[in-house]
Structures are given as C-alpha cells and as structure tokens.
Structure 1
Amino acid sequence: MEQLKPGVFPSEFKLGVNFGSPYQIEGLHPPTDYTTVVNRPPEHGWWNDPTLQETDFGLAKDLGVRTARIGIEWARLYPEAGKVDRKAVTRYAEMVGELDTVGIDPIITLHHFTLPEYIASAGGWANPRIASWFKEYAQFVAQEIAHEAPSIVTINEPSVFLLNGYGKGYWPPHKRLSPQFFLAYANVVRAQTAAYRAIKDVNPLARVGVSEVLRSFAPANAVERSEATVRGFLFNELLYELTLKDFLGVNYFNVYTLKLSKLQKKPSAQIARPQDDRGSLINPQHFLTALENLYRAIKKPIIVTENGVADAQDRVRGFYLVFHLLAVAEAIKRGIPIEGYNYWSLTDTYEWMEKLGTSRFGLVSVDFETMQRIPRKSYYLYQRICREKIVDVDSLTSEFLTEQEREYLNYCASLLSQGGKA
C-alpha cells in the first residue's frame, strides 16, 4: 500500500466538483413536482443558454479536477409517459462526451429530488409501480447517455427528500407525518435495486451507487451517545445496507448536535470555531469519525459526492476545504478506501425551497441577474490542491490562509493524525 504523508492523496485519488442538479442549473424547466413551489430557480440556464454550460465546463477544466458530477433530468428525457425527447438525449450525451474529451470523468446522477409531474400525480415514490418506471429510465440512460461513464449515482439523498416530503411536509408532495413515508422508503430501495441491475445488464463495468447524507451527531453524555448510535444507523447505514451498490456516495456538510457540548479551548484565543452562513459549526473530526463508522459497518469503497459550505463572502470556504480534505487524507491513511472527493458546488446555484441567492456554496460566484461567473479566492485555492494533489497548509498560508488559520489547521491536523478530536 502506498505510504502517505499527512495531507497527501494517493495517485489514483480523484478530486472533483459538482455542477449542481438539473433543476438547479439548467433553466427552461420541464413539468415536475416542483413546478408550483414558491421559491424557484431561474429559467435562464444551461438548457436555453449553452454558453453558460460551456463557461462552467471551462471553469471545471481550468480548476484541474479529474471528476465532475452532472445530473440527468428525468422529466426532460421523458416529458410524457413513454415519450422520449430525442433532442434532450442528444444534448445530454454531448455533455457527457465533452467532459470525457477534456479528461474529466463524469459521475452521472439519475435522480436529484425532482420527479416528472405525471409520475408525481400518480403517487410518486408512494406508488409501487415507480420501481419499474425508474428501472426503465435508468436502463435507457445507461444505453443512450452513460454507456461510457465510469460511475453512476442512481438516487441522491433519499432520506432528505423522504423526510422533507413525507415527514416534515416542506417539500413535494408536502405530506406531514404521513404513513406513506414507509411505503415510499421501501419503493426507493426497490427502485434503486432495479436500476442497479438494469444498468449492470447494459454495462457490467459501470460502477453504480447511491448518494446519501452522512450525518455526524455530537452527543454530550452517555444517553445522547446511545441516541447518536441509533440515529447514525437509521440515517447513515440502513439505506446503504438495503441497496445494491458498488460504492457508497457520501454527502457531508456539517455536524448535527443533539446538545451542544462545551468547546475546548484552541491554541489561539482569537480563533473561534468557524461557522458557515447558516450558523453550522465546521468540525472535520466528526467527518473523519463518521467515515470510519460507515466503512466499519459497510465494507464498500467511498466517494465523497458532496461536501461544501454556504459562504457568500468566501470567509471560511478555503478554511473549510482544507479542513475537510485533511480529514479525507487522514481517513485514507487509516485504510478507508476513499476514491474521490467532489466539492459542492462549482458555481452558486439555487438551493432547495430557498429564495434565490440565500445560500451560496460556489467556488465561483454567480450574479443571478446577468448570470456572470466570477471565480472566488477559494476557487484558486482548490485549483492548487487539484494540481498538486496535496494539502500543504504552510504553502497555502501566504496566499489563501491567515496565520491564525494556519496555526489552527496545523494543530487540528496533528490531532487528526494522532487520533484526537479537532
């Protein structure tokens, strides 16, 4: 096994980026279950302005990434039940081909929250027939669009759209505390399994997985530790256990606190625990622990399919990136087979159910009036890491990090390497 120094990635490790889901970036939206929501993304996007797509592909290439996650809109391929839009098929196939041509491996996502309106009207995920519908769709994409894609994510964050759609009622189909949650959950498992087999029938070499939010819980006492263990199984491991997969797609953003424990004093009194624009604490040790627990439970390779921070002013994004990449590098050193990391997201995008521009995750800022793209400072930090395949805190300090951040990062890196809590 390749011996690695702290912050160094193995030669086969792939650093990448997310473009965003079709609903977030494509514009000219076909009818879906999100058509009638109040806060919607702009209608101006990739689909009716190909120059935006070309610009984003160029930004990804210049970034130096080896992978990029791109989505397919089910409702765009099948605007009506059983009816295929051949122009949409051609356009998606061209997108995938363009990425491959410039040396970027596409990670294709088949479902990222939205359903065709006619499927939603028929009951959506609560309709048992959705497994066969999704299988047909997945098989078609594998044949016509993703036949050379090395990795395919069938379903993105099932627990998120199921809890928000059938538990809290915030998202379509807006059912609060609905018993249909359990039926929908079972149908997601059936649909993913059917899609996995259909894709493998078309391309046995394709690597197929599901992406789920990896939740890390920070308990304050023994009772909360027990609760955290139960929640970790229900939210992190159960869906992975129930589905067929070649890899575990992990989406991780922050730690979930059951009760906020008293924070330890850090080496510089001036450095407070950093927070994003949503008030979430940034702590990569919980990320490392969650990765270890997940791999211990389910022995499959891991791809970090999403990791990002809402930071409109780019205050902590560079810090966040370095912090979490150090945790990934340490996890690999400890023997966890993590194959890649994909930052969320390349550009600012619409965030689900929020007013446009409320949360900005992009390495590249977007003016949603003009759609102008301007790389942030963190874009160039990640560019250097992608090109050098090493997270060298000291070398990044003069241009991208403050001395206090450098001190704190080096302190935390030493704790991570020693198995301590950052």
Structure 2
Amino acid sequence: MRFPPGFLWGAATASYQIEGGAKDGGRGPSIWDTFCAEPGKIHGGANGDVACDHFNRYPEDVALMADLGLPAYRFSVSWSRVMPDGKRVSQEGLDFYRRLVDELTAKGVEPVVTLYHWDLPQALEDEGGWRNRELAGHFAEYAQTVHSALGDRVRQWTTINEPFCSAFLGYFAGIHAPGDTDPAAALVAAHHLLLAHGTALQALRAQARPEHSFSVALNFSPALAEGYGPEHVDAARKFDGMHNRFFLDPLLGKGYPEDVLADLAHVGGLADAIKDGDLETIAGPIDWLGVNYYAPTRVKPLEDPYQQSNCPLPGLRGVDVVAPRPPLTGFGWEQTPSSLTELLRWLNWHTGGLPLVIAENGAAFEDVIGEDGRIRDTARTNYIADHLRAVHAAIEGGADVRGYLLWALLDNFEWSMGYSQRFGIVHVDFETQRRTVKDSARFYQNVITHNALSAAGPAEPLATAATDQ
C-alpha cells in the first residue's frame, strides 16, 4: 500500500505537554499552570512544570527524530513563553524556538508550527480569556511576532489546534483549563477562537512568503447511530453538528449550520457575539485542513428530547452517548479505523476537495519494558498500521490527503489525565527523563522509509532495518 509521492510523514507534540521549563526562558504562567494547581483537577496532582524537560533536552529529542527518519515534526509554540503576559514580547522565549527550529533544520526535519495548543497566558484569562473578543486581536499580534521570528525557516503554519477542546472542555465541561461550566460562555469562546484564527490568518498572509502555507486543526469524532430509526439519525445529526460542523462550516464560508443554531436556540451568547464581518474573517482561505482523529462516538436518542446530553457539548439535548465497542485503547476509546476512512471521504466532499493532513492520530496503551529493555507495544503498532490503512483507503477513494503526523513523539503530560496515559512512540521515564524507543517507532520508521505498508494482517515491517537490532 504505497502513499503518494511527497506524502508528509512526521510526529507531533504540544508545548505545555513536553517543554517543562515553567519558570525558564522568559515564560509566564498559563491557564494550565493555574488549573493544575487546583486540587483534584489533574490525575495524581500532576502538572507540566517539568514534563519531558524538552526545554533543556530538545537537542537530544531532535537527534532522536533524525534517528527515526522523521521528515517532519509538528510542535506548538507557547504563547506564555513568547509573551509572558500575552502582549509583551520576550526575546528569551523567542530565542528558544529559534534554537529549536535551527536544530530541526540542521538535522533535516521540517518544522510544522502550531501557534496555539491551549496554553493561554493567565494574564489574558484574567481579562476574560476566550470570552473576551479582544483576544482575537492579541492572538493576531502574537502570531505575527512568531512568524516574523521564524518565517525565514518555517513553511508550514497552523493557527489554532482543536478550538473544540479550548471552548467546550475548558468553558463548559470544566475538565480543561480554565475550568468554567457556562454553556453560553463556551459558545462565545468558540466563536472568538474561530475569529482569532481568521484574524491571525489575515495578519500572517500580509507578511507571508510564497512558500508559506497556513492551516487550522480540528478534532473530528464521527457520530455513529446506535439504531436505524429517524430519531437515531437525528441524534447523530445533533452530535455531528455540534462536535464537527459547528467549527468546520464557518471556516469553509458556510457560516454556522442552520440546524445547529436551531438546536442551540435555548442557549444565549452566540448570537450577540457574532458581529458584522466576523464570518467573512473566519472564512479566509486556508491551504490545508489539519484533521485530528482518534475515535468515533456512538449515540442514541434520549426519551426526553429536552434532556441535556451526557457529553461535553454545550446546549446539546436529547442525545445519549453510549459505551464504545471494544477493542478499546488504554484511554477507553474505540478503535474503528473505518470511521477515519469515511471521515476523510466526507471531508473531501464537504470541503470541495480541500487538501487534508492528518495532524494527530494515535493511541494510549500501557507499556511494559521487557527485561532486555525493549518495549514491545504491539497494540499501539497495530493501531497505527490499521489507521494508516484507513488513510490509504481514503486516498484511493479520492480524498486529497497529503500527510500523516503521528500523535505523539513522546509520552507526555496528558492534560487532566496527568501522566497516566502514554501516547508516545518513544517512552519517557519521568523520573530520570530517559528516552526509550518503542517497537511502534521502529515500525513507523519502516513505513516512512518505504512510503508504504502491508495491505493486511498484523503490523509487520516490510523489511528489517538495521536499527531494529
């Protein structure tokens, strides 16, 4: 199963999850520093103060990427490191990312920069956070600052990663920073995140070079109806509308979906937040769409159509999220690769053929280090192989998928789950910071080397590489 020539292979991380250096490099406090300090918010009382210590160990990590033959590395810039209060520039913070990008390019690894992966400066949260419309302008200034510093060496840019999580998990579900539980605030935050993307995109294009490309990354979860009646179809429509189309359609110039607005009629906030010209700003053309996919969601209707749903979607009513079907990942997520194929095919149709890049895909499993020091993470390896086959099937079906960036390069701080979930293809001992390459990393290296993988059966390398010894 060969992938198209020039297919972009790589792995991904995020700043708060790996960097550490909480008080180094000019960094100011972010909302995740504040959230982690609240008792009971994070599994095991963990935080990202040290994480993978990537701030100090980035040369070692980049050398590891080169050893694994990764052509690209997607990472995020910490807004609170570059601008400790969200507005004032720290050259010390920018210098860290200059050194990181220089190290990557010297080793032949292409940097793919994400400007925002959830670590908002606490000073801006104190001014209202994403509830505050002015944040869109502040984000555009931050984006221009980073682009001016790195744009001579970085071609690929993503504005915002998963606005769904920042808005809905942070301002409604309360399980992500800043921990609010207000449905109206969550909808307003979602709109302002999209507006920030559009405002920053305009600012970036004004100073872009011809080789630069710009994107945004959305997390998709296809809705699978647990039944065949019209009420089941409608439950799936509601979930898909809030989780997927609410964020995608405005980016495509379609505005917020009418059916979703009708479903949200009982929740205030959004209508007043939308000002003249906002939708045009949000719909600025992107060069590719980042697609983050982990699992589908199974739904069925509630007997009471006015009952609040049991999922973190503000205003969603009449929908019951049911248990996923095994086999499950260590996180308890369903493994259904065919849903990724169908998602990519649908996105190809719904976007009118917009180029797609898998910006995140991966799985957490419990790792066991053998007596020989080897980590035989067969479940993760098979997950990767099955989902790569799903991507290949979508490409064969006509979807314009141009890359796959595996989540994650390193085991890291997994937000509210602390260090209890390991997504990395490289194991991190958080006590010693020792890195150990897992079998899944060697399998992935082999796929990259051949730009192909086996068509069926368990994940096996196409040929034995010397580095497997």
TM-score higher than 0.5 here? yes
Q: How does 1:175-324 map to 2 (within 5 A)?
A: 175-205=180-210, 206-222=212-228, 223-243=231-251, 244=284, 245-258=286-299, 273-299=326-352, 300-313=354-367, 314-324=377-387
Cα drift, residue 147 of structure 1: 3.6
CA distance in 1: counterparts of 2:249 and 2:234, whole angstroms: 20
Which of 54, 65, 69 matches 1:60?
Answer: 65
Does the C-alpha gap of structure 1 residues 95 and 46 become closer, same or farther in structure 2, counting only changes over 3 Å?
A: farther
Q: Is 1:21 the counterpart of 2:21 in the alignment?
A: no
Matched residue SS, 1:353: helix
Does the C-alpha gap of structure 1 residues 49 and 297 become closer, same or farther in structure 2, counting only changes over 3 Å?
A: closer
Q: What code does the residue aligned with 1:390 have? A: A
State whether residues 363 and 378 of structure 1, in contact with CA within 8 Å, keep that contact through their aligned partners in structure 2: yes
State whether residues 298 and 324 of structure 2, in contact with CA within 8 Å, keep that contact through their aligned partners in structure 1: no
Match of 1:145 in 2: 150
> Relative to structure 2, which stretch is displaced further, 80-89 or 307-316?
80-89
Cα drift, residue 168 of structure 1: 1.1
Does the C-alpha gap of structure 1 residues 261 and 55 become closer, same or farther in structure 2, counting only changes over 3 Å?
A: closer
CA distance in 1: counterparts of 2:439 and 2:125, whole angstroms: 41
Does the C-alpha gap of structure 1 residues 157 and 261 become closer, same or farther in structure 2, counting only changes over 3 Å?
A: closer
Does the C-alpha gap of structure 1 residues 47 and 346 become closer, same or farther in structure 2, counting only changes over 3 Å?
A: closer
Match of 1:11 in 2: 5
CA distance in 2: counterparts of 1:321 and 1:377, whole angstroms: 12
Q: What code does the residue aligned with 1:13 have? A: F
Q: Is 1:359 the counterpart of 2:421 in the alignment?
A: yes
Cα drift, residue 59 of structure 1: 1.6
CA distance in 2: counterparts of 1:303 and 1:320, whole angstroms: 18
CA distance in 1: counterparts of 2:145 and 2:449, whole angstroms: 36
State whether residues 11 and 409 of structure 2, in contact with CA within 8 Å, keep that contact through their aligned partners in structure 1: yes
Match of 1:387 in 2: 449
Match of 2:267 in 1: none
Cα drift, residue 123 of structure 1: 0.3
CA RMSD of aligned residues (A): 2.2
Gaps of at least 5 residues in structure 1 are 1-6, 264-272, 401-422
Gaps of at least 5 residues in structure 2 are 23-27, 37-41, 252-283, 301-321, 368-376, 463-469
Match of 1:168 in 2: 173
Match of 1:32 in 2: 30
Matched residue count:
382
> Relative to structure 2, which stretch is displaced further, 70-79 or 86-95?
86-95
> Relative to structure 2, which stretch is displaced further, 97-106 or 36-45?
36-45
CA distance in 2: counterparts of 1:261 and 1:289, whole angstroms: 21
Matched residue SS, 1:107: strand
Q: Is 1:337 the counterpart of 2:342 in the alignment?
A: no
Does the C-alpha gap of structure 1 residues 395 and 256 become closer, same or farther in structure 2, counting only changes over 3 Å?
A: closer
CA distance in 1: counterparts of 2:335 and 2:384, whole angstroms: 10
Cα drift, residue 387 of structure 1: 0.6
> Relative to structure 2, which stretch is displaced further, 7-16 or 214-223?
214-223
Q: What code does the residue aligned with 1:250 have? A: V
Cα drift, residue 237 of structure 1: 2.8
Q: Normalised by the size of structure 1, how large is the TM-score?
A: 0.85
CA distance in 1: counterparts of 2:453 and 2:460, whole angstroms: 14
Cα drift, residue 86 of structure 1: 0.9
Match of 1:375 in 2: 437
> Sequence identity of aligned pairs in percent?
28
Q: What code does the residue aligned with 1:15 have? A: W
